[in-house]
Copies of this chain bind each other. A is one copy, B any other.
Amino acid sequence: MKRKPSTEATAAWIRLMRIQSQVLGAVEQDLKKAGFPPLAWYDALLELSRAPSGEMRPVELEKQMLIPQYSTSRLIDRLVDEGLAARRECKIDKRGQFVEITEAGRELQKKMWSAYSAAIEKHVGSKLSDVDAAKLCGLLDRLGCSCGEAATLAARDGAPAR
């Protein structure tokens, strides 16, 4: 059972873990220093703002963001507490609900994108040519079974999802 992964594979694994945490930390830090909430909030607001009528089912949000159900539930709680979103009852399915982004939510999303995009540029864009960034995408996509397609489409106003 020894020496299964090649040195290269192991090195890639280590880099993937280290660099991601480093870059994510740097970006989150920039956001926080600019007085903004965590990235997850941005992701949620972005998804909501993209929805046709500014509202969607929690289940839907959960699938888009690739986070567990309970996590979605609590994230919505926080957004609602801050007046960035509102819960609406769902008439066709009384178990469920709709979550609607508020005007404040839309504004915050836009403001965050300024800081967020600057952070991406600072910590990723400025360190890699577009060609290299594309190469990196290609290599990373091969590690994720089949999450590349959707992500490519969504690659406008960046939405990570942990």
Chain A residues at the B interface, C-beta cutoff of 8 Å = 1-24, 66, 114, 117-118, 120-121, 123-125, 127-128, 130-137, 139-144, 147-148, 151-152, 154-162
How far does the Cβ of A133 sit from chain B's closest Cβ, in whole Å? 4
A162 touches B21 (CB 8 A): yes
A130 touches B8 (CB 8 A): yes
How far does the Cβ of A46 sit from chain B's closest Cβ, in whole Å? 12
B130 touches A6 (CB 8 A): yes
Q: Interface residues of A: mostly helix, strand, loop or mixed?
A: helix
Task: Report the Cα distance A114→B155, complex, angstroms.
Answer: 38
- Indicate how many identical chains form the complex: 2
Task: Report the Cα distance A45→B19, complex, angstroms.
Answer: 22
B120 touches A4 (CB 8 A): yes
Residues of B contacting A8 in the complex (Cβ-Cβ under 8 angstroms): 128, 130-131, 133-134, 137
A120's nearest neighbour on chain B, judged by CB, is B5
A1 touches B127 (CB 8 A): no
B15 touches A130 (CB 8 A): no
How far does the Cβ of A90 sit from chain B's closest Cβ, in whole Å? 29
